[in-house]
Amino acid sequence: MMRDGPRISITIAGLAVLLLAAVGSGGKKAEGGGGDPYAGLPQSEKDFCIAVETSAKKYKEAKAGGQNELQLSKLRTERKLALQAAVKDGIVTGWTGTLGQLRTTGDGKAIVEIKLPCGDVHVKTWNNALSDIVDRTLVPQGSKLYEALATMGKGKPIVFNGKLLPDEKNGFRESSLTEEGSMREPEFIIRLSAVGAPGSALVEAAPAPAEKAGGADTTPSPSADAAFTISKVSVRVQDSFASKGKYVRANFQAKAKEKPEKGTSIVVKYACMVDDDIVVEKGRVMAGLDDMEPGQSKSLSSSVWALHPLEKTPTSCTLTFGSGHLLGEPAWNMGEWCFTPPATVKEGACP
């Protein structure tokens, strides 16, 4: 009995020590768990993450609760406004993330995907040349950005600058095919301007061409060296076939001044006023241009916002026509037209 007493006493004392230790460690964990999960992130990235994660949670709960499409669409609009407030003009500076698998297109341009430190949220370039015709997010081989990315690997941390592209429905362009995918696992399209490893200097891309206020490129007047003469311009706003909303379609006639080179395209830039904001998109026309002879005319059409429609009919749109090689920047030297719904079109830019 005497020998059993001390053994029991030691066991109880040991349990007491373990219990105190467990309580102490639990208290420390709770204290740490209550901290800011986005500590150390730039304020814009922190606000962006909060907006995306909060909206994803609300959408999931609303979907599970059987809320209708109108209520779910309202959540998307609320997120749009929160994202636009978080990232002014889409400018991203010093954001951090984890690099996904690096791939290339058929012509060797880099496809980049970066996972942000907030749920299942990514920013990325387009993954094919056709989708990237207007946005120019793919990273050209031989560029400084390409060489910097080539030294990095999947799963490695990355710091980056860039621009999220404007979009009427989501605030910033997003590539999901469904509303639920956009809300719960969004993939936002970004044009990268600098990349690097944490703690090292960022490698910057060559500067983009200068732009006017509202995002429209500097536009020269129609010139004698323009490849085509544009006439008979008509424009309509139509209901989107892909989802609820509006898209803009232009019909026009193009007359070749000389035989077009292989790969020549006509580009129509639409700068439309929606709720006192200017939204800009470009549509490229390629079909049949290579076969045109000097002096020959063709009736052509261009449309924008068909897959990512506008929520409202624009009050006016300035259409600017240019031409150039499919893989290059167009020369904006084929004139401007002002469209006022439902069907008024006048030559010259809108006021």
Q: Mean pLDDT over residues 313-332, rounded?
A: 85
- Whether the pLDDT of residue 221 is over 50: the answer is no
**pLDDT digits over 309-320, tens only?**
888 899 999 999
In single-letter form, the type of residue at position 160 comes to F
The domains found in the chain, sorted by start residue, are 43-204 (2.40.50.140), 213-347 (2.60.40)
CA–CA gap between residue 204 and residue 145 (Å, rounded): 7
Q: What is the mean pLDDT of the chain?
A: 82
Helix (H), strand (E) at residue 272 = strand 264-274
Percent pLDDT > 70 in the chain is 83
**Does residue 209 register a pLDDT over 50?**
no
What pLDDT does 325 receive? 78
pLDDT at 24 exceeding the cut of 70: no
Q: Which pLDDT belongs to residue 124?
A: 96
Res 16 pLDDT > 70: no
Model confidence, pTM: 0.57
Q: Euclidean distance between the first and final Cα of the chain, in Å?
A: 102
As a whole number, mean pLDDT of residues 115-119 equals: 92
Predicted confidence (pLDDT) per residue in 166-206, tens digit: 888 899 999 888 889 899 999 999 999 999 999 999 999 86
Going by pLDDT thresholds of 50, 70 and 90, the confidence category of residue 1 is very low
Give the pLDDT band of residue 144 (cuts 50, 70, 90). very high
Helix (H) or strand (E) holding 219: none
State yes or no: pLDDT of 329 exceeds 80. no
Whole-Å CA distances, 344 to 229, 237, 347: 20, 11, 10
| 23-27, 94-98, 125-129, 335-339: least confident range | 23-27
Residue 327's CB is within 10 A of a number of other CB atoms, namely 12
Are the beta carbons of 6 and 14 closer than 8 angstroms? no
Q: Predicted confidence band at 242 (pLDDT cuts at 50, 70, 90)?
A: low
Q: Can you give the pLDDT at residue 266?
A: 92
Any idea what DSSP says for residue 215? G
At residue 81, the pLDDT reads 94
Task: Write out pLDDT tens, residues 29-68.
Answer: 333 445 677 888 999 999 999 999 999 999 999 988 888 8
pLDDT at 224: 52
- Identify the CA nearest to 333 among candidates 251, 281, 257: 257
